[in-house]
Amino acid sequence: MEKKRCHFSFGAKPSPLSGKSLLYHDTRWCKPEHRDGELFAMLVLEGMQAGVNWDLILSKEENFRRAFDGFDPNIVATYGEEKIEALMQDRGIIRNRNKIAAAISNARAFLKVQEEFGSFDAFIWSFTDGKTIDHRLSDEDQMPAKDALSEKVSAELKKRGFRYAGPTIVYSYLQGIGVINDHSVTCEFR
């Protein structure tokens, strides 16, 4: 018997999930993440997603992980022009100079947050006192693109020098790391 899932895609047109999107929905989306490495990875991926379909990002995720040295912020923070040029030639990723530069500057900002708070995890989860905000949606049409929390987190990230961290991207990021749970109430993967 098929399990009940949210009925939407991570793209523009609602549809049943398949492939990598299905795996992402079932195992990662809205699931609490506390490993700093994965918190940074999701931050980069969400920034790369701006203006493109999340399904495309998921299809290229392994390439992104390889190209960005496993999303190690200590390594990404050291990238210079030579590495940027190499990334701009990598057909396996989104080749957008502004997004690549943002990933580098975000790695530097990420490391500063780690220094200040002991971990990025302590920082990002402090906005909800370590608790997941469960919207208990009965209909995916109720899911906002942004909310007061994403506005607050976005403002704080921007103040700390993060780029590609607007409220809509941050809302998606907070879902991706489980700070927000927007699985429908009927979804068996809540």
Confirm whether 82 is a catalytic residue: no
Enter the tokens of residue 44: 């980069």
Among the options 46, 79, 125, 164, which is catalytic?
Answer: 46
Other Cβ atoms within 10 Å of 50 Cβ, number: 17
User: How far is the C-alpha of 151 from the C-alpha of 73, rounded, in Å?
Assistant: 24
What H or E segment, with its residue span, contains residue 181? strand 180-181
Active site residue 29: no
Q: Catalytic pick from 29, 54, 79, 171?
A: 54
Q: Which of 24, 29, 79, 164 is catalytic?
A: 24
Tell me, what DSSP letter sits at residue 166?
A: -
Q: Is 54 a catalytic residue?
A: yes
Query: Are the CB atoms for 154 and 89 separated by under 8 Å?
Result: no
Q: How far apart are CA 45 and CA 42, in angstroms?
A: 5
Q: Is 51 left (phi over 0), alpha (psi -120 to 50) or beta?
A: left
- 80 φ, ψ to 5°? -120, -165
What residues act catalytically? 24, 46, 54
